[in-house]
Amino acid sequence: MTLPATEISPPQPDVLVVPLGAPLQWLLLGWRDLLRCGCWSLAHGALLAAFGLALMATAYQHFWLLAGAFSGFLVVAPVLATSIYAMSRAVEHDGRIGWPLLRDTWLSWQQSRFMESGGYWCMVRFGLLLALAGTGWVVTSAALITLLAPAPINAPLDFLRHVVLSRENYLFEAWLAMGGILAAPIFASSIVSMPLLLDRRSNLLMAVLTSWRVVLANPGPMALWAALIMLLVLLSFATAMLGLILLIPLLGHASWHAYRALVDASALPERPRAH
């Protein structure tokens, strides 16, 4: 008996195995796309760097909040890079890079119904889930530091002295452990989810499960990819956020090529490209 079309499950994307050094190749390809897209890519980095500077200025005297906010920013970064993925996708097809592409990418969710399977709303829902996770970490981080720190944490030096370097307790280790417990499943859920949702008509559950399958099939390359992201982000923070101007578009474009290398989604219907 043939099932009605509405009950037939869409095909699962194939997950590919890549060599350990593949993340370095993704960065090189991301750099190529960054040069191709130019100011349109750098504008994303400039906006997020400006946001980081504004956050720093606002919360500088409340560093317990600032530490959680910056790490929470990393949680929602895959969603913020959506239009960067769209630019790399356009480069693949010799498409035009410009304001119409960015506008259509961010407003395409208005063209589909909320409950439509494989519609643009799945990207909105995924973004909301990541934002909720990021907010939860900010609150948890702030509560952990303010409640357990031996002295008020109001400035970077306070955080360094009473949390990072303190040997009276294991607050810093606990803070890192809690951050890792939250970050690991989010990272595993979002490695290829947003690029897949942008590129193909996939539902949210399929995209997240595909991302987890990628991690299980490529533990070494994914560990290296996570380490490279953290290292580059820390270097950018050390430049008073100015490094984000270059880093955000570089990682966004590189993440698109990571998706292309790790997932064969040709069995799924292609999502129309923005113009």
pLDDT in tens, the chain (275 residues): 444 444 456 788 999 999 999 999 999 999 999 999 999 999 998 988 887 777 777 766 666 566 666 666 666 777 888 999 999 999 998 888 988 888 888 876 555 554 455 566 777 778 778 878 877 877 788 788 888 888 877 777 777 787 878 777 788 888 888 888 888 888 899 999 999 999 998 888 999 999 999 999 999 999 999 999 989 888 887 787 788 899 999 999 999 999 999 999 999 988 877 66
In angstroms, how far is the first alpha carbon of the chain from the final one? 42
What pTM value is reported for the model? 0.83
3-state DSSP assignment of residue 238 = helix
- Residue 8 maps to a domain: no
- Residue 199 maps to a domain: yes
Residue type (1 letter), 201:
R
- Residue 90 maps to a domain: yes
- Residue 7 maps to a domain: no
Closest CA to 101 of 275, 272, 256, 271: 275
- Residue 273 maps to a domain: no
- List Cα–Cα distances, 103 to 83, 88, 98, 144, 168, in angstroms: 9, 15, 9, 40, 52
Tokens of 132: 């909720």
- Residue 237 maps to a domain: yes
Q: Where are the alpha helices (DSSP H) in the chain?
A: 22-37, 39-59, 63-80, 82-92, 99-107, 121-148, 156-159, 171-190, 193-199, 204-217, 219-238, 244-262
The structural domain count of the chain equals 1
DSSP 275: -
Number of Cα atoms under 13 Å in the Cβ half of residue 8:
7
- Residue 33 maps to a domain: yes
- Residue 269 maps to a domain: no
Q: What angle do CA 25, 13, 24 make, to 5 degrees?
A: 10
Domain residue limits at 217: 15-264
Give the relative orientation of helices 63-80 and 171-190 as an angle to the nearest 10 degrees. 10
Closest CA to 178 of 228, 150, 136: 136
Q: Which residues pair with 15 in a beta bridge?
A: 263
